[in-house]
Structure 1
């Protein structure tokens, strides 16, 4: 009865938003994902009897790569919900789809060997239908942040029904295991954060400009202005310093470029846009390109990691570890507490204190991992049924 009522409710929401979805599908950002997810355009079902992974974003999808390589790309299929996740998945398997909105899964899901969902994609019908049609169901890299914990508890009646359809859960930490078990998860084991199992490598080699290279990475609205203000004050004492700014979302490139150019001009510094010059020679450079961040980490002395100076929740600090960077972060890391607890050496500050934090970073040790992470417990759970 619950499944029937849930399906009817989700179907009603789907019908209610059909027109707005159709309008949004004309926006460049959603031109592929909305038609595929909500209208099944160029989005056929996955091949049957695959090892099916589902992830949401770019970072989660990229974390699947070592698992896909270990199992064999020819046996794996991946679904995502974002365009960036879809593009990343295409890099290591051809069998990639957008996950349709829940009511459409009744017509879309085919029998699979196993469904492996990463982190917090807790869609009831996804697990219910996959299991109903023969798949073992797993949730990996599972976490419940401090900020979302009370919300999960408030809707515990719903999540208990979701976890009743999940055969095995791999949690990031003991705290996550306790919270997941409280919500009804069973067969929970702690495996750590799989994003730490294989750290990124540079895909291109860029020549490092002379001086101290500071990279402001994955920045969000409300952060760039404060970062530039702190850098300009710090630059007066360290004129050899250069700043790269890498916004998180490409649709903000033009706005950030205008702000950076104005700030540079007012202070007599030079500004460059990577897409136009391909050069790091200017004092301040906007990196308006996707998929290049680790290549700039590789030549950076200090990384200011965005998403934590405003209440976004932070981003993955461990991606800087292989490159010997000093890392400065804001304090709003509520979505990345597990990741930050796995590394040591990060410097935390507010935007108002960023200038001093940059000085501290000059004398600090590079960020490093506390302990390695193994994928074997996850692979064993998958291989049990394949």
Structure 2
């Protein structure tokens, strides 16, 4: 009953969703590109594909090592990557070029999903993290398509939300062939809201298997030398959201009082905010250089990382990293990329999306927590003045990453065994 109501409401909202897509596309044409995919009119493929669904940029980046590993294991395996956002799709194309197929995910109406399945004919559906779309899952299961929820995480907040729609969620979880949970806590919550015990495994997070190549190290080192011209402390605030940029800039202004040579690298989470953040920096009276324009940060207080796909590299040129989405109630973002560089990690108080990973970093003596711009400034001042402490925190962070590698291989083995 609840599933039918969900589908009815989605159908009712679809004209307004399409109108919003058209409106957003006025300023960002890529947003409404391939609108046919969203209604299920995806390209037809000559043979069944492994369908990897990652809703946005973060999930696409998380899926990348998995797709690479699957292609390395079976080079002729046709893979289709889908995303709900233009930035997620663009990131996938940048990562894989012609090696995989691409499409936008269909909107979750029965008609759109049926059309999509008719054209794509998946041999398996791999869903990243916690994207439980009722029609996508139910209609795939009805066609006998194995469905894998990979790198699955479920916060207590999300679990409570799913329990409010228990009659909708429990049947979906029963349709999943395999839930590869990041941690025991995630597995327990999935079982609590209806997953079948025989379909749930704890594999760890594939995000621990982040790879820092020698080429990436060279690029980060060269960028730091070319940008700075002289040795100066650099900290990065990555994946920032509305409501955080002001706090970060206030902390940097306070830091400049004691370390006037310090450089802030700020990287907004969403590309449509690049210009707004640039205006905010200039309005605060801080000098600005922009990555997209090839400007040097020498003599500037703030460097804006306004390009796509370079965050991992930008972490490598920093001495300290604030992983944003945590100074507001957004739930935080992945801290393992700076940790894999051996860069000390700072975070705000709101990390419920990655609570297990942050707890592991904290237990490993690799995390500095702050509450607001004032405590952030104090933490930055203290760590910049203590290079030995910075090196200790960075080494601890890298040690946590190294100790938890291996989930990727377990997940790949699990998928291959079940397809």
Equivalent-residue separation in structure 1 for 2:32 and 2:22 (angstroms): 12
User: Secondary structure of the residue that 1:101 maps to in structure 2?
Assistant: coil
TM-score (norm 2): 0.83
1:380 corresponding residue in structure 2: 413
Q: Give 1:21 shift.
A: 4.2
Quote the Cα distance in structure 2 between the aligned partners of 1:253 and 1:15.
29
Q: Which one of the candidate residues 315, 318, 327 is aligned to 2:333?
A: 315
Q: Whose helix fraction is larger, Structure 1's or Structure 2's?
A: 2
1:213 CA displacement: 0.9
Structure 1 residue 278 and structure 2 residue 295: aligned? yes
On the 8 A contact 1:327/1:361 being kept in 2, the answer is no
Residue range with higher mean Cα deviation, 341-350 or 327-336: 341-350
1:89 corresponds to which of 89, 92, 110? 92
Q: Is residue 139–residue 166 contact of structure 1 (8 Å, CA) maintained in 2?
A: yes
Question: Alpha carbons of 1:68 and 1:47: their partners in 2 closer, same or farther (altered >3 Å)?
Answer: farther
Unmatched tracts of structure 1, length 5 or more? none
Change in Cα spacing, 1:56 to 1:29, as seen in structure 2 (3 Å) is farther
- For the 8 Å contact 1:264–1:284, the answer to whether it is kept is no
SS of 1:147's equivalent in the other structure is helix
Relative to structure 1, is the Cα distance of residues 54 and 223 closer, same or farther in structure 2, using a 3 angstrom cutoff? same
Query: 1:212 — aligned with what?
Result: 233
2-side partners of 1:312 and 1:29: how far apart? Answer: 27
Take 2:17 and 2:292, find their aligned partners in 1: how far apart are those partners?
Answer: 37
Q: Does 1:368 align with 2:368?
A: no
Unaligned regions of 5+ residues in structure 2, if any? none
- The 1:3–1:220 alpha-carbon spacing in structure 2 relative to 1, beyond 3 Å, is closer
Match of 1:334 among 349, 352, 367: 352
Match of 1:190 in 2: 202
Asked whether the equivalents of residues 244 and 286 of structure 1 are also in contact (C-alpha less than 8 Å), the reply is yes
The residue aligned with 1:242 is: 263
Bigger mean CA offset, 334-343 vs 77-86: 334-343
Map residues 161-200 of structure 1 onto 2, 5 A cutoff.
161-186=171-196, 187-200=199-212
**Closer, same or farther in 2 for the Cα pair 1:222/1:9, shift >3 Å?**
closer
Q: CA deviation at 1:382?
A: 1.8
2-side partners of 1:27 and 1:47: how far apart? 35
Q: What secondary structure, in the 3-state scheme, does the structure 2 residue paired with 1:336 have?
A: helix
CA distance in 2, matches of 1:3, 1:328: 42
Aligned match of 2:117: 109
After superposition, give the CA deviation of every residue in 1:297-346 in whole Å (9 maximum; x if it has no partner): 11111112211111111111110023221222111111121221332411
Report how many aligned residue pairs link the two structures: 381
The 1-side partners of 2:255 and 2:10 are apart by 53
